[in-house]
Structure formats: structure tokens, C-alpha cells
Amino acid sequence: MIKAFIFDLDGTLVQTEIMKAHSYALAAMELKPGKIKKHKIIEEYKKLVGRSRQEVAKSLLNKFYLNNEAVKRLDEFKTGEAWEVFVKIRLNYYFEFLNNPRILSTVICPHTTALLKKVKSQNYKTALATTSHNDEASKVLDILKLTDLFDFIATRDLIEKSKPDPEIYDLVLSKLNIFPEECIAIEDSVTGIKSAIAAKINCIAVPNAYTSNSVNNSNLISEKWIINRPELLSNLVNDILTSLK
């Protein structure tokens, strides 16, 4: 019997991946003015969706040869790591986006947030399992008034290993006091799906424009558990719950 639903955040409940991609692109363009094409950063970021800040930043720094430029600004940002400089520049842009509720309201995912509200009203346990750090996640959840819909919120700050490692899901299972077979994870990326599977949790994938190709070609879960039309999500969940009664 299903007792809980665990939701990813970025790309699942809110299309913050769009804002993250643009913030990384703007940060790269700031480091190398006139030498970086915004669309190229965005396309490369699509391959990294679901990864940790550190992994994404290091990958983009290496791919676009930005390390030297970041190193020049170590003192400015009071850090000893080039990737941290890149992240801090990126966050300046990202929080500008987040501080504009009008922008944020345009990227909410209506069908997954509707499912969250529905299962919460039906007294299922609910949790968030996001690789975003607490500062980013809290900002998004508060602005969109989603915080109170969760019994537990797990962010990158609470774990040592990011997705696709199962640590974040194992933490949620422990906090909700449930077994893996008693919950369903809602994810949008290959990284997130792998994390849920590694924790032995059933996973429904609701991919977006950034993750659709990789999810549909991954062969990680059955096609019937991949929702390419988000408006069908509620129907699938109803079918699953009925079959497990």
C-alpha cells in the first residue's frame, strides 16, 4: 500500500532549470565577456540537470575553459575554489530571477503541483527530495507557498552524496518512517530516477524540455511510468493506487 509521495523540485514541481540554465550562462558570459555563446552554455547544462552545484560548475568551467578567469576572482569572493566563484556569480543572477515572483509564477509545473496538493489533502505523507541547496529551495517554496505541503524537506545540505546516489531518498524514508515499497517518487531527470531506483522506490518520471530525450532513452523504468503529457499524471497515479489496494 502506498503511504507517501516524494517529489523532486527543480524541473518537477517548478521549471527552475530554465532559470538555472540562464544563470549559469550569464555567469559564464561575465567571466569571458564577448567570448561565450549563451545558447551553448544552456545546451551543455541540459546534460547536467540533476547534478550538484559543484559537479555542474566544474563541468562547465572545464568545458568552456573558464578556470583561469574564475581563479582571478578568488579574492573578490573570498574563496579558494574556482568552481565556488562561478557558483557565487551564478547565484547572483539566479536570485534576481527568484526575487521576481512574476517570473517564478510562470515556471511552476501545474500538474505536478496539483498532484502534490491532492495527495496531501488525501492524507498521504509528502516529502521533497532536492539536490538544490536549502537557500535556493526555501526561496522557491516560500514564494510559491508550497512549504507547508511537505512533512519533510530534504535538500543538498542534509546529505553527503548527491543524486544519483540514493542517500537523499534513504534519508526521506527514515524521516517518514516508511519502507521503499510504500512510496512513489516523482522525478524529471535520469539522475533523479537513478537515485529513486537505487533506494528501491517506485518512480514516475515527468520529463521536461531539458530532460525528455535522456529520460525516454534511458530504459531505466517502464514506458508506462514515463509521463510525457503531464496532464495525464493524475490518471496514472490513480491507476497505480487502485491496482495496489
Q: How confident is the model at residue 245 (pLDDT cuts 50, 70, 90)?
A: low
DSSP SS3 for 126: strand
> Assign residue 11 a region: left if phi > 0, alpha if psi is -120 to 50, beta otherwise?
left
Q: Check whether residue 174 and residue 195 sit in a common domain.
A: yes
Worst-scoring range by mean pLDDT, 49-58, 70-79, 85-94? Answer: 49-58
Structure confidence by residue, pLDDT tens digits, 182-211: 999 999 999 999 999 999 999 999 998 889
Question: How would you class 114 by CB atoms within 10 Å of its CB: exposed for 0-12, middle for 13-18, buried for 19 or more?
Answer: middle
Residue 161: DSSP 8-state:
S
| Residue 16, pLDDT score | 84
Handedness of CA 126, 132, 135, 140 (dihedral sign): negative
Amino acid 96 reads E
Domains of the chain: total: 2
Is residue 132 within 8 A of residue 155, CB to CB? The reply is: yes
Domain limits for position 153? 4-15+107-243
Cβ count near 240 (within 10 Å) = 15
Phi, psi of 118 (to 5 degrees): -65, -50
Nearest to 138 by CA among 126, 124, 128: 128
- DSSP secondary structure of 193-242: HHHHHHTT-EEEE---TTTHHHHHTS-SS-GGGB-SSGGGHHHHHHHHHH
Angstrom distance (rounded) from CA 168 to CA 195: 8
Angstrom distance (rounded) from CA 226 to CA 43: 23
Pick the last residue of a domain from 78, 102, 126.
102
Q: Check whether residue 116 and residue 216 sit in a common domain.
A: yes
Is residue 172 within 8 A of residue 131, CB to CB? The reply is: no
CATH for 204: 3.40.50.1000
- DSSP secondary structure of 31-52: HSTTT--HHHHHHHHHTTTTS-
Structure confidence by residue, pLDDT tens digits, 14-51: 988 888 999 999 999 999 999 999 999 999 998 888 78
Q: How far apart are the first and last CA of the chain?
A: 6
Tracing cell 512510496 back to the chain, one arrives at 183
| Residue 136, pLDDT score | 86
Pick the last residue of a domain from 102, 121, 147.
102
| Residue 99, pLDDT score | 84
What is the pLDDT of the chain when averaged over all its residues? Answer: 93
Pick the last residue of a domain from 82, 102, 122.
102
Mean pLDDT, rounded, for 114-132: 96
Nearest to 155 by CA among 3, 4, 7: 7
Q: Check whether residue 85 and residue 168 sit in a common domain.
A: no
Q: Check whether residue 94 and residue 124 sit in a common domain.
A: no
Q: Check whether residue 8 and residue 113 sit in a common domain.
A: yes
Which cell goes with 81?
Answer: 575554489
Q: Check whether residue 118 and residue 238 sit in a common domain.
A: yes
